[in-house]
Each structure stands twice: as structure tokens, then as C-alpha cells.
Amino acid sequence: MTTATAGQPAAFLVHVACYLPARVVTSAEVAAARGVDPEWIRTTSGIEERRYGAPDETAETMGIEAARRCLAGAPDASIGMVLMSTGSASRRWPGPATTVATALGLGSVPALDLPMPSAGGVSALALAQALAPLHGDVLVIAAEKMSDIVARPDTHPNVAVLFGDGAAACIVSARRGVARILGSVLHSDGAFADALHLPVDGPLHMDGRTIIMQAARKLPQVILEVLDQHAIGLSAVRMFLLHQANLNLLRQVSKTLGVADEVVFSNIRGYGNTSSASALIALAEWDGLSALETGAPVVLAAFGAGLQWGAVLLVRA
Amino acid sequence: MTDLHPQILAILQNIADVKSPLSVGPDDSLFDAGILDSFLLPGLVTALEKAFGIKIPDADLSSQRFETVNRIAEYVRSRS
């Protein structure tokens, strides 16, 4: 377990933005293509639509677009590092971070990859809290083109229909921002690596039942862990922004925590599971930080392949 | 420990919110029988912990362990 707490220099979330490709793919369309009942998709996952990138779009290009939008909203940022998470890069190596940094005109700043699906965006944000005081403003990018991965015909239909494409980016600074990153907790457990994995040359495999069992326990635990570290009660949290894997899982987490469904943000109906990008897309779409009073807490949390899971605690600055 | 099957079946009936007693063999897949799904599993784990006074650690949270009544009974015995 790694924790980042109040003992380290301050880091702030400056701005966040997202990019969703234009093509809307309904559950009816994907269900027909995969031989799945669209009503099963809705009741099992809460997903009604997802976005698919155009043939010439990649995780890299979507990450660049999200980053450009983010940088446009923070003209005073001086980027000293890029952290990029994706589980759907267009090549095995080099990873997309350097390509994205160069496309953004960021010169020779260190550009590091986190080849992590699912929890990658939240993990990158947690790392940025620690790295911003050392490297300057950190540009965090999470981008996924999951539609390319699930396009393989040997992907199980019930898995293929869950995913969508998208990207988000945020800037973390040691100087100032709309919210302070108060702390984070990251965990991993390789014992269940096979329960959700993408082979080098094979279809995405997901033992959904095991993954749901693990996530339904670990997500509430890690949320409580990061809140306990800062003596903040659950009822004080204004919004929980979780990895958008499945609406039923989000409802299970809110039930376990004993919080209202309304404070657990959900946009999975329109985007499906955008893997590592989903929690940061949720943060960008929610757009509620600036309306909060100073000190109001918000929690981001994610769980997925690895297993990797974690939570980041923000408070309105 | 005595035969756990009646108690496990009662828990499953409650979790699945089924009115009539379940008709499922001890080695039949509870998933294939439509009794359990992904989102009933966390509730089953909690109910088993409460009913049998056991703690089910994260390392044991795999769906195969809870796929049949016999497997559940074997597991509960191993934790008791």
C-alpha cells in the first residue's frame, strides 16, 4: 500500500477537461453486432450508449485533444512533467506519453507512461500529487480506445459491449488550484491478475463475477481508508467520482457506504466503461468543484485490472 | 458441523428474493440456474459471514468458490 498524506508539500488540481469522440454507438447497435440482448446490457450494466473513436483516432490522439482542452483552460500552467495512463495504446512501445508531449509542444519534459487500464487515471493523479512539488506542473492524461481492443471477434460478446472510448486530462500544481489534493491511497494485488487481463495476442478476458466481488469490497474500503487518514466522515463528502465500470457496482458501493446514490456520480449511461479515463472524465463532466465551499471534500476512486485500486481525496481550495 | 445445505439454500433463497424453495442440485451451477449473478455475490458473501460467524478474506473472493451449494458448504466448513 502507498499513501500520500498531509505531511508532504501541497498539490492542487488546477483544471480538468475531457474529450469524447463524436460517434455515438447505441446498445441496440452493439447488441445486434454481437448477438446480445440490448435490455440485458442496460439492466446488467446501466449502459445505453458509448462513444467510439473514428478509424484515425487513437488513445494518443484523444489524449492530445483532451490535454489541449485542459491547457486552454489553464493558460498560466508551466508543465514540467506528463503522466499518461492507457491500457489501449496503439503500439507496445514506446508508450504514448512522449508522442503526446511532443504533439503538445512540451519540449523535453519527462513524459512517463502508466500502462494501466481501469485505475490508471486515479493512480496518475495520486502520483502527480507527489511529483508536482518536485517537477513543476504535472499534466495528467488518461485516454482509451477500447473499441479497438473489443473489436476482436473472439472477445466475449458480454464483455465487448461494455466498453467505450474517451480521454481526460488535468493539471496538478504545487502553486494553486481549484482544489487541494489532500491525500491518496493506492493498492495492488497480483493474485487476481488473470481475472481481468489482455494477452499479448488474444482477446480481453474478464471474469466479471470475481471482479465485481473484489471491487464491491475494495472500493468502499479504500474510500474509507483515505477519509479516515484525514479524519473526514463519509457524510461530509460532497461527491464520489468513481471509475465508471458498471452502474450496478456504483449502486452497490453507495449501499455499502450508506450514502445516497445522488452523491455517487454516474455518466456510464452515455459512455460505457472508458477504462482508465472514466474517473477523470467523470471529474470533468461533473464540473461541481468550483461551486463548493472552501474545504468541501470530494473523493475519486477506481478499481480494475492488476488488481489495482486506489482513492484520491480533494478538498475545495 | 451438521449438513449446511438447508441453511445455505435458505440464504440463497433470501438473496435471490425468491418466494418458493429453490430447486437446485448440490453440484448445479447457481449461475447457470439463474439463482446467482455478479451483483448478488457480494450480498451472498455478507450473508454467509453473518450466518456462520466467519470472515471471508479478499483472497477468497473468486466466483468459482461460490458456484454450487456443495462448494459453498465446503468453503464454509473450511473457515469454521
* A32-69 pLDDT tens trace: 999 999 999 999 999 999 999 999 999 999 999 999 99
For residue A207, give the nearest of B37, B58, B63 by CB distance: B63
- Torsion angle, alpha carbons of B23, B25, B31, B32, to 10: -90
Check residue A3 and give its pLDDT. 63
- Pick among B56, B58, B72 to test the A interface (most A CBs inside 10 A): B58
Inter-chain contact A207–B39, Cβ cutoff 8 Å? no
Residue A109 has a pLDDT of 97
pLDDT-based confidence at B23, cuts 50/70/90?
Answer: confident
CA-nearest of A122, A299, A125 to A228 is A299
Cell of A23: 460517434
Sign, CA dihedral A72-A279-A247-A148, equals positive
Q: What mean pLDDT comes out for the span A133-156?
A: 97
* Contact residues on chain A for B42, CB-CB shorter than 8 A: 212-213, 216-217, 252, 256
A207-A213-A216-A220 Cα dihedral, nearest 10 degrees = -120
DSSP A248: H
A194 touches chain B (CB under 8 A): no
Question: Cβ separation of A217 and B42 shorter than 8 Å?
Answer: yes
Cα A116 from chain centroid?
A: 10
Peptide bond connecting A307 to the previous residue in cis, omega within 30 degrees of 0: yes
Residue range B12-20: mean pLDDT, rounded: 88
Residues of B at the A interface, defined by Cβ within 8 angstroms: 31, 37-39, 41-42, 45, 58-59, 61-64
Report how far residue A59's alpha carbon sits from residue A73's, in angstroms, rounded to the nearest whole number.
21
Mean pLDDT on A267-293: 96
Looking at the DSSP bridge assignments, the partners of residue A112 are A83
Q: Mind listing the pLDDT tens digit for each residue in A175-210?
A: 999 999 999 999 999 999 999 999 999 999 999 999
Residues of A within 8 A of B45 (CB-CB) are 213, 217
User: Mutate which of B40, B48, B61, B72 to disrupt the A interface (most A C-beta within 10 Å)?
Assistant: B61
- Given a cut of 80, whether residue A9 has pLDDT beyond it is no
Alpha-carbon distance of A268 to A238, in angstroms, equals: 19
Q: A-chain residues within 8 Å CB-CB of B58?
A: 189, 214, 217-218
| Integer Cα distance of A187 and A168 in angstroms | 22
pLDDT band (50, 70, 90) for residue A125: very high
> What pLDDT is attached to residue A287?
83
Q: How far is B2 from chain A (nearest CA, A)?
A: 28
pLDDT for A4 equals 59
Helix ranges, A26-184 (H): 27-34, 38-45, 59-72, 96-103, 120-135, 146-150, 157-160
What one-letter code names the amino acid at A257?
L
Contacts of B56 in chain A (CB under 8 A): none
- Identify the pLDDT of residue A143: 98
Residue of chain B with shortest Cα separation from A247: B39
CB contact set of B35 (below 8 Å; sequence gap of 6+): B12, B16, B18, B22, B24
Cross-strand bridge partners of residue A140: A83, A170
CB A108 within 8 A of CB A286: no
Question: Residue A56 and residue A236: Cα distance in Å, rounded?
Answer: 44
Q: Are B70 and B80 in contact (CB under 8 A)?
A: no
- The whole-angstrom separation of Cα A24 and Cα A270 is 9
Return the pLDDT at B22.
84
Q: Specify whether the CB–CB gap between A285 and A172 falls below 8 A.
A: no
Å from A295 to nearest chain B CA? 34
Contact between B58 and A218 using a beta-carbon 8 Å cutoff: yes
CA distance A209 to chain B (A): 5
Short-list A195, A152, A159, CA closest to A272: A159
Contact at CB, B61 and A210, closer than 8 angstroms = yes
- State the Cα–Cα distance between residues A45 and A59, nearest whole angstrom: 24
Rounded to a whole number of angstroms, the distance from the CA of A61 to the nearest CA of chain B is 35
User: Would strands A79-85 and A137-145 be described as parallel, antiparallel, or unpaired?
Assistant: parallel
Question: How far is CA A217 from each of CA A122, A169, A250, A309, B46, rounded to the nearest angstrom?
Answer: 18, 28, 12, 11, 10
- pLDDT of A8 over the 90 cut: no
